Amino acid sequence: MIRVSNLVKDHGPARILDGVSVTFGKGQVVGIVGPSGSGKSTLLRCINGLEQFQAGEVAVGDTITLTGSPTPPPKTTLLRLRRAVGMVFQQFNLFPHMTALGNIMSGPVYALGKARAEAEAIARRLLDRVGLADRAAAKPAQLSGGQQQRVAIARALAVNPAAILFDEPTSALDPKMSAEVMRVIDDLANDEQVQTTMVIVSHDIRPLLRIADVMVVLERGQVIYSGTVNDAPPGYLE
Amino acid sequence: MEHRLSLWVVAALAVTSGPAAAQEKKPLRWGTDPTGGAPYVYQDAAGTFIGFEVELADYLGQKLGRTPVMKAGDWDKLPQLLDRPADSPDAIDVVLNGYELKESLQSDYTATTPYYAYRLVLLTHKDADSLKDWKDLTPAAGPKRSVGVLNASAAYQYAKDRFADRVELAINPDVVTVIGLVRDRRLDATVQDNPAATYFLKETPALKAVGEPRQPGFYVIYTRKADTDLAAGLSDAIKDGLRDGTLRRIYQKYGLWNGDQEWLCYHQTGRWPADEDAGEEAASGEKVNPWPRMIRELLGAAGMTVFLSATSFPLAMLLGLLVALGRVYGPRWLAVPLGVYVEVLRGTPLLLQLYFVFYLLPGVIPVLTLSPLQAGIIGLAINYSAYEAENYRAGLLAIPRGQMEAALALGMTPLTAIRTVIVPQALRIVIPPVTNDFIALFKDTSVCSVILITELTRKYNELYNFNREYIAELAFVTAGLYLVMSYPMALLARWLEVRTSTKGERGA
């Protein structure tokens, strides 16, 4: 479970997030929507510790708490938080010097210290899971955008996080590739064995409505709705 | 005589040593290397050039009715200044700087009658009790003795012929430096012509001369081959000076008059008799093809060039990478000292840095007394680390920020992210400039000759000075060796670029 309480994030004189409080339950699929500039991506980056925030709190489970402060947070807290909360980026951010397999292995090997053989077994299983078992040796430059994003999802899953944050995972893709990626996310959401919380920021509303359990609507850095998809204000779901 | 391969640009300095009143007279442009050249040509406390050859030049100018004009150049390249057109501004008319009478020079230039008879003197530290004679240079047991000699000198040729590989010859362009190294006991001994030996024995109480002076020879003045009238005029002036005691007065003033000069007064022509230990080579009249030996020596020196490059460049890369990482990812306070490090090293000549590491550093921190090879490797590595730091910094800054974020989001520590994600990508980006620098360093190893290392360019210098008839061929072979050695680097770089390409399919 991820609990965000009264989170405040300033960027210079501008307030990006203004007292955001929201809770994501274990295994839930959460969609975050809102107009451009409402602070959706910034919220994800704060939850993952990629952005420092000035006040409030992010708690993951009962043991990891990141508190807002003008000074940088403790390194050990950041490390524990990031190992518990994975992230998938809009621009994929695959490591171009590694193969697809190497990218997925990088987390288990370099972050968790697993043996290469064990990491490779995990990586091959996940590649299969995202439908790219035959592209293990391909470098990112040899993959389509959709394939790259699927590798990025597998890479995030490889460290077995409690939650994965998807920051506009399909906005850099054409509709066909977007559909491929959303299908993978959908599969994960419907897999009962996967207990990972998935928080998805996307402008691609339609598939989001289909797979999300909960919708959060942000506007001007504030949560204006948090609840079921059916009750969400319709103006934000078009 | 042989004093110094100066670092000066050829003919950068022109100083008249004659009276101002003689301005209208035709000049007698005499080539010399005044750097560290006592007692031949050197500066007194007031900055005036003095020395027995300055006075000799004044005397000769007076006799010929010409105004002596001193022209400075690298000692071992002075004869090449005679090859320049006589009317060019940096040309000289004569080489007057302790040049020996040598067959290899006589074939290209005209030599005057000798103006001084010298012998080689073995100098060592006064406390070097185990070195009492020339034969002690090659003890039956223990490490080889290190003997400092000057490039292209008779002392170098003598030590090489007589002791071959049984001593460690340290070739240096500067007599003052060699003397300093013997004084500091970083060299066991040095072989010098007696004028230099006489001067430095007086100036450096820590030195002593051991054994009998050996291998007598003549100092002569060289002119252009076609300048026979000038050579004859100079010879007549020298003979007159010997006869009327002018040269005696000059030499006595510098403590250089001895029995050999008495002999010179009466035998101004003909060969100086070989002494007891010069007979072996003299007995053999058959000319041996020098190429097998020269090629062997060039290849040996090329090996040193490769060794210096192969050891110093990885160090430079490592240091450069650390500096670049410190500047890009380190704490803010570190950026300033690292920036100063880069700018100081990039902004000062490698030559000075090598001098500092080898000659000056031991005076400041005695524990950092390095061997020439150590100093060469470290000096090159430090110098090139500045350039590599900038290459790597550019490479690091070229990596998109998302790469670091993705690595951190996976739970890697910043250090692990840098090591496994950022640096490998940055290294791939900088392969072309780094290869370029490696090839540059490969050629810059030649600067290490100033700290007694004999690498390819130094060996070329040594060889052509004693084999001037092959000067072009030697240059061609040396350049060829550099090319043969550096071209594979370019191929290696290309291979690395392909190998590390982000586009090919490879295993994990």
Q: pLDDT digits over A82-141, tens only? A: 999 999 999 999 999 999 999 999 999 999 999 999 999 999 999 999 999 999 999 999
Q: Do B502 and A123 touch (CB under 8 A)?
A: no
Contacts of B428 in chain A (CB under 8 A): 97
Structure-token pair, residue B506: 């490879």
Q: Do A93 and B508 touch (CB under 8 A)?
A: no
**Cα–Cα distance for residue pair B343/B387, rounded to 1 Å:** 9
Q: Can you give the pLDDT of all 508 residues of chain B as single tens digits?
A: 444 434 343 333 444 444 444 446 789 999 998 876 889 998 888 888 999 999 999 999 999 999 999 998 888 888 888 988 888 888 899 999 999 888 888 888 999 999 999 999 999 999 999 899 999 998 888 888 999 998 778 888 889 888 877 898 888 777 888 899 999 999 999 999 999 999 999 999 999 999 999 988 899 999 999 999 999 999 999 989 988 889 999 999 999 998 888 778 766 544 444 344 444 444 445 667 889 989 999 999 999 999 999 999 999 999 999 999 999 999 999 999 999 999 999 999 999 999 899 888 888 888 888 888 999 999 999 999 999 999 999 999 999 999 999 999 999 999 999 999 999 999 999 998 999 999 999 989 999 988 888 899 988 988 887 777 888 899 999 999 999 998 888 888 888 878 777 665 444 4
Smallest Cβ distance to B506: which of A86, A99, A120? A99
pLDDT at A213 over 50: yes
For an interface test with B, which of A41, A60, A95 has the most B Cβ atoms less than 10 Å from its Cβ? A95
Residue B401 touches chain A, beta carbons under 8 Å: no
Q: Do A142 and B503 touch (CB under 8 A)?
A: yes
Kindly state the DSSP code that residue B129 receives in the 8-state scheme: T
The C-alpha of B498 sits at a distance from chain A's nearest C-alpha, in angstroms, of 12
Give the position of tokens 């998109």.
B400
**Cα–Cα distance for residue pair B267/A165, rounded to 1 Å:** 100
Structure-token pair, residue A82: 């990031």
- The ipTM, to two decimals, is 0.94
Burial of B164 (0-12, 13-18, 19+ CB in 10 A): exposed
CA distances for B477 relative to A237, B193, B302, B358, angstroms: 79, 32, 11, 30
- Say which residues have a Cβ less than 8 Å from residue B228's Cβ, sequence separation at least 6: B110
Contacts of B408 in chain A (CB under 8 A): 49-50, 82
The C-alpha of B430 sits at a distance from chain A's nearest C-alpha, in angstroms, of 14
Q: Can you tell me the mean pLDDT for A205-213?
A: 86
Beta pairing, strands B145-150 & B167-172: parallel
Contacts of A142 in chain B (CB under 8 A): 503, 505
Residues in chain A: 238
Residue of A nearest to B426 (CA): A97
Nearest alpha-carbon partner for A30 in A226, A231, A191 = A226
For the question of whether the overall pTM of this predicted structure is more than 0.90, the answer is: no
The C-alpha of A171 sits at a distance from chain B's nearest C-alpha, in angstroms, of 16
For an interface test with A, which of B405, B410, B420 has the most A Cβ atoms less than 10 Å from its Cβ? B410
Structure-token pair, residue B456: 């390819």
In three state form, how does the secondary structure of A23-60 look?
EECCCCEEEEECCCCCCHHHHHHHHCCCCCCCEEEEEE
Give me the helices (H) in B369-429, please: 372-397, 401-409, 414-417, 423-429
Contacts of A139 in chain B (CB under 8 A): 502-506
Smallest Cβ distance to A93: which of B405, B420, B507? B405
Q: Are B210 and B129 in contact (CB under 8 A)?
A: no
Question: Which B residues 14-73 touch A at CB under 8 Å?
Answer: none
- Give the domain A2-227 fold: Rossmann fold (3.40.50)
**Cα–Cα distance for residue pair B277/B258, rounded to 1 Å:** 21
Instruction: Report all structural domains of chain B as residue ranges with CATH numbers, in order of start.
Output: 2-115+220-269 (3.40.190.10), 119-214 (3.40.190.10), 291-507 (1.10.3720.10)
Contacts of B405 in chain A (CB under 8 A): 50, 87, 89, 93
**Cα–Cα distance for residue pair A139/A145, rounded to 1 Å:** 12
Q: Is the dihedral of CA B480, B481, B485, B488 positive or negative?
A: positive
Contacts of A155 in chain B (CB under 8 A): 410
